[in-house]
Amino acid sequence: MGYPVILHLRGRRAVVVGGGKVAARKIHGLLEAGAEIVMIAPEAEPELQALAAGGMIVWKKKRFDPDDLAEAFLVIAATNDRKVNEAVTQAAAPGQLVNVVDDPERCDFHVPAVVRRGPLTIAVSTGGASPAVARRIRRELEEKYGEEYRLYLEFLQRARGIVLREVEDAEGRKRLFQALAADSFRQRGRWDEELAQLLANEKERNGERGKEQ
């Protein structure tokens, strides 16, 4: 069983070998994560050509050779030629994370199906058993956790900073974080107003405790 992680790729180089439909899907995910993408392929899908023309990715218009992996943190072998994909895995140095789109067994990692809502990431993997089921479950989760979760999570991110700054006592923080995480809180939609009230309640509680001592 794999170990799920969220990789921070900002400023790190990802080399994608291949420029077809599967490479395009992987490149979109890597772009969202802020990776520096180098694509190696003699031909590429129009959307990838456009990304290269716009400076969003670097396109080396050529066939793969092992030198292409220099300085890569992460490598995706996404050509339609099994032999080339295998050559990519052979060329990778120990420590480079390699994904091979037609060989789950040789992958250091699989790419899950993903729902993103601002800071919220929901990832679904079947470990290669059925990517189509991963896609179906991803779609179901997209319905359940709609766009409204983006604003809510952005609010929570801000609120977290405020609570950590203003509430010193660990129990109080826990009480507040649980209140903010409740679905009833989210649904009422008066987030800033209720946060201010909750913070005031905590201050009052502390004041009273201060008086007791």
Ligand X SMILES: NC(=O)c1ccc[n+]([C@@H]2O[C@H](COP(=O)([O-])OP(=O)(O)OC[C@H]3O[C@@H](n4cnc5c(N)ncnc54)[C@H](O)[C@@H]3O)[C@@H](O)[C@H]2O)c1
Interface with ligand X by CB under 6 A: which residues? 17-23, 40-44, 63-64, 78-81, 84, 101-102, 131
Rounded to a whole number of angstroms, the minimum distance from the CB of residue 180 to ligand PQ2 is 29
Instruction: Give the residue with the Cβ less far from ligand X, 23 or 180.
Output: 23
Choose among ligand X, ligand PQ2, none what residue 138 binds, the Cβ cut-off being 5 to 8 Å by kind.
Answer: ligand PQ2
Task: Check residue 34 for interaction with ligand PQ2 (CB under 6 A).
Answer: no
Which of ligand X, ligand PQ2, none does residue 127 bind to, with CB < 5 to 8 Å depending on kind?
Answer: ligand PQ2
Helix axes 21-32, 46-53, angle to 10 degrees: 40
Computed over its alpha carbons, how large is the radius of gyration of the chain? 23
Provide the 3-class DSSP secondary structure of residue 36.
Answer: strand
Nearest CA among 107, 183, 115, 111 for reference residue 152: 183
Name the packing angle between helices 148-166 and 170-181 (round to 10°). Answer: 170
Q: How many CB atoms are located within 10 Å of the residue 2 CB?
A: 12
Q: Which of 12, 13, 110, 205 binds ligand PQ2 (CB under 6 A)?
A: 110
Comparing CB distances to ligand X, the nearer of 87 and 153 is: 87
Residue of the chain from 12, 138, 175, 205 that contacts ligand PQ2 (CB under 6 A): 138
In the complex, the smallest distance separating the C-beta of residue 122 from ligand PQ2, rounded to whole angstroms, is: 11
134 scored as a contact of ligand PQ2 (CB under 6 A): yes
Handedness of CA 48, 52, 54, 58 (dihedral sign): positive
The residues pairing with 99 across neighbouring beta strands, listed in sequence order, are 76
The nearest distance, CB 105 to ligand PQ2, in angstroms, is 8
Residue 58: name the closest of 85, 30, 84, 98 by CA: 30
Burial class (CB in 10 A: 0-12, 13-18, 19+), 116: middle
Which segment (33-41, 111-119, 176-184, 186-194) binds ligand PQ2 by CB under 6 A? 111-119
Q: Is 126 in the site for ligand PQ2 (CB under 6 A)?
A: yes
Nearest approach in angstroms of CB 199 to ligand PQ2 is: 39
H or E stretch covering 121 = strand 120-124
Binding site for ligand PQ2 (CB under 6 A): 25-26, 29, 99, 101-102, 104, 107, 110-113, 125-132, 134-135, 138
